[in-house]
Amino acid sequence: MRTPVLRLARFTGRLLAALAAIATLVVAFLALIALTDGAGSGLAAWSVTLGAGTVLALWRGRRRTWPARLMPFLPVVVAAALTATVCVPTVPTAREYPPGLPFVATQHWSLTTGSRVAVYHYAPANPDTRHPVPLVYLHGGPVRGIAVQDHRFLRLLARQGYDVYAYEQAGGGRSDLLAMDQYTISRSVRDLAAFIDRLNKGKADVLGFSSGGVVLTRALADPRANARLHRAIIAEPGPMDGPTARVTGHKGRTSARGLAPAVSGPRSTHVPRYAVAFGLMRLGLLTPDTGLIGQAEGDNAFTAADLGSDTASAYCARDAHRIPAEDTAQNFSFSPAASLRVQQTVKDSPSIAPQLTRSRTPAMLMIAECSSQVRQWATAVLAHAPAVRRTQYMPGVGHHMWNGLDDNNDRAAAVITAFLQDRPAPLPNSPTRDEIPAFLRDHR
């Protein structure tokens, strides 16, 4: 009776030892990936791990008979096979751009900054009601394509007489990629100024949403860019500079994060190579220009499902089970590495508050009731930009205020057009600068 028990115990012990050896080699491989910044598509870390595992296997088997000498190599072979999946691309490594949209032509403009961006133009539906100042849209992301949902909203503004232009910021959507060290918030501001110059229509009204609102806020603080702005609408901005990025605080009313059904569709993060790359980049253990995956490969791999609950966080809790499809699989584009790089340059930047106080460009701030943004990100703009003439607190909507649900698009358009035409606001001017402490205290 003891013999089977002893055999089982020995087998279990050997199995656990083998699993421990495999786990040790995998952890060592991941550590080497971080230490080498993924050099050679991860092959540098893989080669060192395999070499070290082989040496250890030889040492463990040095006193065994010949067939038994092979046993220590089994964990090495398994670990080598597992880690090799991190080194092999499963998508094209050259950038594959989204196909053209069926409802608007894609133009490509070369800017004086060196960026080549994809441009979309929605002319006024009725030339007789055309507004004289062009309206430029800065999307969120920061480095991603413009969602179909946003295109629908831009068409709505064009039907109301606005000459609407939108461009996908460098590296996003159908725009050309930049070298990774060129993705900075300062470059984004220079691109905006160069884009308005390329329009050649004088000053422009600009609507900046989310990270686009950050670009617009910093443009107000930049004298060269500010001189090209007629009016500025800052909608749901992220942090405008390093000090603001370090502020902690509450967000808006409860969003649909954690309440909405899981996003369906393929995920790059289910593939070991991209799970490791994006995970370590997010943890700051790999640089955005890592040698593990190239920028183009990362863009090709990333899917809408990889955003996970981020999409749900842009909607109110009450909308959790009716979140619309924001984009199509063919149009979706997001650059995780370039986005992290831009965000890092914001975090590393000094305060822009002194420069912002000098701007006199008329501006409006839009804040969503169920915002997933830290409230102090928006109130910092209000506190330091005296040119903010009105604030519109948008009830019943989340971070993505024009989302196609109910009359949300029409309400957002009414707020925007009223400001651009200098008409009375459809909503109370709230919060004002004096009301910021109460607004934050009441956790609105």
Calculated CA dihedral for residues 155, 158, 162, 168, nearest 10 degrees:
30
Burial-class residue 102 by CB neighbours within 10 Å (0-12, 13-18, 19+). exposed
Q: Give me the mean pLDDT over the 75-101 stretch.
A: 93
Q: Cα–Cα distance between 182 and 219 in angstroms, integer?
A: 18
Q: Give me the mean pLDDT over the 376-394 stretch.
A: 95
Give the residue carrying structure tokens 């007629």.
Answer: 230
Half-sphere exposure of residue 289: CA atoms within 13 angstroms, side-chain side: 9
The two tokens of residue 259 are 């309440």
pLDDT higher than 80, residue 402: yes
Q: Give me the mean pLDDT over the 223-251 stretch.
A: 95
Q: Which residues of 285-323 are buried (b: 16+ CB within 10 A; e: fewer)?
A: bbbbbbbbbbbbbbbbbbbbbbbebebbbbbbbebbeeb
Give the per-residue pLDDT at 47.
93
Give the per-residue pLDDT at 62.
64
pLDDT higher than 90, residue 382: yes
Q: Give me the mean pLDDT over the 73-86 stretch.
A: 88
Give the per-residue pLDDT at 7.
67
pLDDT higher than 90, residue 412: yes
Q: For residue range 426-437, list pLDDT tens digits in order.
A: 999 999 999 999
404-409 contacts: CB < 8 A, separation 24 or more?
Answer: 404/149, 404/152, 404/324, 405/319, 405/322, 405/324, 409/152, 409/153, 409/156
Residue 56's pLDDT band, with cuts at 50, 70 and 90, is: confident
